Amino acid sequence: MAATRIERHDAGMTIHIGLLLYPRLTQLDLTGPYEVFHRIPDAQVHLVWKTTEPVHADSGLGLLPTTTFADCPKLDVLCVPGGFGQRLLMTDPAVLGFLRAQAETARYVTSVCTGALLLGAAGLLGGYAATTHWAYTDLLPMFGATHRPGRVVVDRTRITGGGVTAGIDFGLRVAAELAGEQVAQAIQLGLEYNPAPPFACGHPDVADPALVALVRGRLRGADGSVLAD
């Protein structure tokens, strides 16, 4: 481990992990890491939103917040998932204020997919290396971040994951930081996380350029904007 890394959590102490839950997020950005996080010893995982009313992902799947911004404890790990609903939050003072306040004391400030852009909007990625979904990595410098290729990027107290399915890799890396590699490996084995995708097209580096252009157009829209609907 790098000398700048924060020491692991003491055994027996509750580790508070909070994931921002908001309308029209991509549910796997949240549920992938959640499936790892709740298996970390002594971890308590919070799904945080403005209210505890049901929230619907961009797929329509309903999810229940477990606490509100006001009632959320101080978090050891702050995690922001991505999704198209992230766009509306980029200028939301309640959301940005919550992220900034929790980041002041969190051991790790983290994201999956376009959640990194929301961290950036809150001013929490300036001077850090980071990643996000491949279709949006060019936006990271807008927030003072440097794009570093990889499914998961760790830079001191910032841990960022790539798009959607990278959230599982991300979750395992966070688990290793908090509880050690043996715990993370046991979680990975228990989940039978041993990917063997049927097609070699899961990243622009290996996909057909025409397919990349098609998917990029669908994700970014005609004007390429992701900062507002």
Active-site positions? Answer: 113
For residue 36, give both structure tokens.
């790892």
CA nearest neighbour of 176 among 8, 64, 15: 8
The residues near 209 (Cβ < 8 Å, ≥ 6 apart) are: none
How distant is the alpha carbon of residue 215 from its chain centre?
A: 21
